[in-house]
A and B are shown apart, each in its own frame.
Chain A
Amino acid sequence: MAVLLLAEVTDGALALDATAKAVTAAQALGDVTVLAAGSSAAAAGAEAAKIDGVAKVMVAEDASLGHRLAEPTAALIAGLASDYSHIVAPATTDAKNILPRVAALLDVMVLSDVSAVVDADTFERPIYAGNAIQVVKSSDAKKVITFRTAGFDAAGAGAEAPVETISAAENPGLSEWIEDKVAESDRPELTSAGVVVSGGRGVGSEEDFAIIEKLADKLGAAVGASRAAVDSGFAPNDWQVGQTGKVVAPELYIAVGISGAIQHLAGMKDSKIIVAINKDEEAPIFQVADFGLVADLFEAVPALTEKLS
């Protein structure tokens, strides 16, 4: 059986961590062919060819595939589908946009956010904000899957898979890209960071979020936020951790001023070590924290930052 894996490519660059984790998940299903698609994708394809476990790389470069608009990208993948039993991708916003469309074009269901592979037809996925794990067996001829990357280790590098160039599908011309507003960040990417420091409503203001960022920088961590912090304008949307934001599973997750609502826990409760700093000792976050500190965050966080130097 063969697997087609849509690589995560942004502005011509491969998101190595997400793609390599999806390769790990996909290897159990068969030979993995990686598809790198974009207006420029050759460099990303060459990098993907080095991931251990990749049997082949296909590069599709075309203006219509820039920013991977769902319609032309889904048409490309559906056109390639006949040779593959599984069509997979890391569960990023790009893949969540494209893969359900591919599945419907092929008249099959999609398996979203798969967290474990049982066998070629059977998969585990979290439901109800991660409060239950469903084991499902697909009766479809082809499986279309997005993998929850937080649950898999990244495959190593060192391989040298052959790279082949293919052409794009005809552009259905239904949509156009206008602009990107990219949040600038020098910090590690949230979903692949080893340490994440997150702030919630308790931080109180955008200015005070600086104390979260200072602690994060001290630890070389990525910065996350709860929905309350994002909605209040303390932090940008793409920092949101939770059921509707990003799902992370770092070695260390420090939750500051976050009560621990179900929707937030959905995005971080698989972290190795969870630290909670909150002045409310009844906050639900303490039920999942390995180490909890009941304290005023405005005193505790600067002190912690200081002590870690």
Chain B
Amino acid sequence: MKVLVPVKRVIDYNVKVRVKADSSGVDLANVKMSMNPFDEIAVEEAIRLKEKGTASEVVAVSIGVKQAQETLRTALAMGADRAILINAADDVHTDIEPLAVAKLLAKVVEEEQPGLVLCGKQAIDNDMNATGQMLSALLGWSQATFASEVEIEGERAKVTREVDGGLQTVSVNLPSIISVDLRLNEPRYASLPNIMKAKKKPLDEKTPADYGVDVSPRLTVVETKEPSERAAGIKVGSVDELVEKLKEAGAV
């Protein structure tokens, strides 16, 4: 079974983002970018399926600017077999919407015929949590979101999902889209020899036009603003003083 893993290049999760002064967006110039943390978990899971003999090939795909190549090379260094880059934006500030990404991925799925798509549950930049579900809808496939455990059992997958009240286990028909949560696994680091080898692995470059998909946004960003600042607080010297302050504020 072939496994397809969509990965996204996003601002590094440790970077404190800055809103541009003209409110046109978040400043991404000269900021450290990395693979979306959830996508690392998806890549790791795909590689583990390959190591268990369940997956025959792992294909990583990324959509965005040409620098997303680096993200794909990271996936290849972790153990993916080959990569597809869809050059869909000229500027790093252009975020292709989940609907367009899902449409492009649906075309890639048609071409590649994977038995499973493993993706991250959300990208930490747009915080949408939608692409996997949208792809599943477009393909008419089953979906298992927020997975913390995945067991492939022949023509089905048994997936434990992180839901609000605890955990839910579902069984889905394959092929399926599984979106992964934080606790599914601990992604591996790419070793230096593997990083070198990854440079020789195949990476195909495509454009949205190759797939006949229109990537223009449905949502126009009117403005991007800073969240309201909290008023500066105070440090108290003792538990007594804390209780007193809380009582004054009517909080207890």
Q: How far is the CB of B145 from chain A (nearest CB, A)?
A: 5
In the complex with contacts A100-B98, A101-B137, A176-B170, A127-B126 CB distance below 8 A: yes
B128, CB-defined interface residue at 8 Å: yes
* A interface secondary structure, majority: mixed
Instruction: Assess the B246–A133 pair: CB atoms within 8 A.
Output: no
Residues of the A chain whose Cβ atoms lie less than 8 Å from the Cβ of B196: none
Q: How far is the CB of A5 from chain B (nearest CB, A)?
A: 18
Residues facing B in A121-155 (CB within 8 A) are 122, 125-140
B143, CB-defined interface residue at 8 Å: yes
Count chain A residues whose beta carbon lies closer than 8 angstroms to a beta carbon of B. Answer: 90
Residues facing B in A14-34 (CB within 8 A) are none
Instruction: Assess the B16–A131 pair: CB atoms within 8 A.
Output: yes
Residues facing A in B1-45 (CB within 8 A) are 11, 13-14, 16-17, 19, 26
* B interface secondary structure, majority: mixed
Residues facing B in A284-299 (CB within 8 A) are 286, 288-295
Residues of the B chain whose Cβ atoms lie less than 8 Å from the Cβ of A69: 170
Residues of the B chain whose Cβ atoms lie less than 8 Å from the Cβ of A111: 219
B212, CB-defined interface residue at 8 Å: no
Bound-complex Cα distance A300 to B124 (A): 35
Nearest-CB residue, chain B, relative to A110: B130
Instruction: Assess the A292–B170 pair: CB atoms within 8 A.
Output: no
Q: A104-B135, A290-B233, A304-B243 are in contact. List 8 more A-B contacts (CB 8 A).
A: A100-B128, A100-B130, A101-B137, A109-B98, A133-B224, A238-B163, A269-B230, A293-B235
Residues of the A chain whose Cβ atoms lie less than 8 Å from the Cβ of B192: none
13 CB contacts below 8 A, A to B, read: A100-B131, A100-B134, A131-B16, A132-B227, A136-B221, A138-B220, A174-B173, A175-B173, A179-B169, A180-B168, A238-B163, A244-B122, A286-B235
Residues of the B chain whose Cβ atoms lie less than 8 Å from the Cβ of A96: 129, 133, 145
B 147-180 binary contact with A (CB < 8 Å = 1; else 0): 0100000000010011111111111110010000
A105, CB-defined interface residue at 8 Å: yes
Residues of the B chain whose Cβ atoms lie less than 8 Å from the Cβ of A169: none
